[in-house]
Homo-oligomer: A and B are copies of this chain.
Amino acid sequence: MTSVKRPGSGVTSFDVARLAGVSRSAVSRAFTPRASISKDARLKVFDAASQLGYRVNPVARALNQRRTDLVGMIVARMDNPFRASQIDALSRTLVRHGFRPMLFCIDEGLGTEQLLSLLLDYSVSGVVITSDAPPIEICNECARQQIPLVLVDRDDRLPFVDRISGDNVKGGRIAAETLIEAGRHKLVVLSPETAVYSITTRIDAFVACADEQDVPVDVLNVGTHNYEAGRDAAASIAERRHDEIGVFCPSDIIALGLLDALRVKHGIKIPGEMSLIGYDDIPQSGWEFADMTSISQPVASFADGIVGLLTERIANPQTPPRNELLDVMLIRRGTV
């Protein structure tokens, strides 16, 4: 009847209440910050709880509150090391703030929209989206259920959806200025066909800055957003070696493909014959073979910023959409 249950799962607030000699409500209140309960009662509850190994059941709590501690992360792919370290940092920061990160990669037949509505079923505390902007109907549904959405590196202005991104304009301008200062007066910028907001913004800022200084810029279209795209663009770039051009790749993963192929396949000296600057400052850019100048977006700031936007909107759901901009920094290495 009054048998002591084994510590761990199976211990309910009722068991704790009985041992502590209080009502079950008191137990619930003891574990609820700012609840109406006396210091004395709370202490008795904590004592009994640790004695039994009691832990609040988050599922039951979620059913009651209609809200979980879960936060969804929707990501396209993780083959880009920048995304991987971003997710790594975000996951850690979320846990430190008491959230539980879920990871979803978009897949065959499972786009951002499907994954988002799947997350809605779980009454998540929020969703961080680094893939595509979801359709507006879903956003409205999220707003109605007061589920915060944070868009990373996307510019789509949606009702009640917060955005965060690096300062792509500043980054693009720094790239142009750095190349021009290095004496490159013919510029080239690689533009992936599948370019998203952050990429095009960098390119536009780069071109604008070059225009201001009357430096000609070629925009060279490449395939997708990966190493192979940069590598395959090398032949076209190699033709211009005599011009001592300065090349800007709006993403390190592309830049490394280009740099690698230019040196290995075409034997081009960098920065001797041309200069190159990338973006993201992924670890590989610091490797010996590359030693590539790049523009760094600190992943820790991303994580902090994202969680900040989430918690603020949870505290005050009616605030108008915010757009946070993170500072970027030039990392000088050996390709300029």
Q: A9–B143 Cα gap in the complex (Å)?
A: 12
Which residues A90-124 have CB closer than 8 A to chain B? 91-92, 95-96, 100-105, 107, 110, 118, 120-123
| Interface hit among A55-63, A237-245, A269-277 | A55-63
A145 within 8 A of B: yes
Partner of A63 from B63, B105, B257 at Cβ < 8 Å: B63
Residues of chain B with a CB closer than 8 A to A265's CB: 288
- CB distance A60 to B58 under 8 Å? no
- CB distance A104 to B91 under 8 Å? yes
**Please, how many residues of chain A have a CB less than 8 angstroms from a CB on the other chain?**
57
**Copies of this protein, total:** 2
Residues of chain B with a CB closer than 8 A to A8's CB: 120, 141, 144-145
Residues of chain B with a CB closer than 8 A to A257's CB: 287
Q: A277–B96 Cα gap in the complex (Å)?
A: 40
Binary CB contact string for chain A from 67 to 110 against chain B (1 if under 8 A, 0 otherwise): 01010010001110100110110011001100011111101001
- CB distance B101 to A104 under 8 Å? yes
Residues of chain B with a CB closer than 8 A to A62's CB: 59
Measured CB to CB, the nearest residue on chain B to A100 is: B102
A227 within 8 A of B: yes
Supply 22 A–B pairs (Cβ within 8 Å), ascending by A: A9-B123, A9-B144, A58-B122, A59-B123, A63-B63, A78-B84, A79-B88, A81-B84, A88-B105, A91-B104, A92-B105, A95-B107, A96-B107, A100-B118, A100-B122, A102-B103, A231-B288, A260-B288, A260-B289, A263-B289, A284-B284, A289-B289
Residues of A within 8 A of B (CB): 6, 8-9, 55-60, 62-63, 68, 70, 73, 77-79, 81, 84-85, 87-88, 91-92, 95-96, 100-105, 107, 110, 118, 120-123, 141, 144-145, 227, 231, 256-257, 260-261, 263-265, 283-284, 287-290
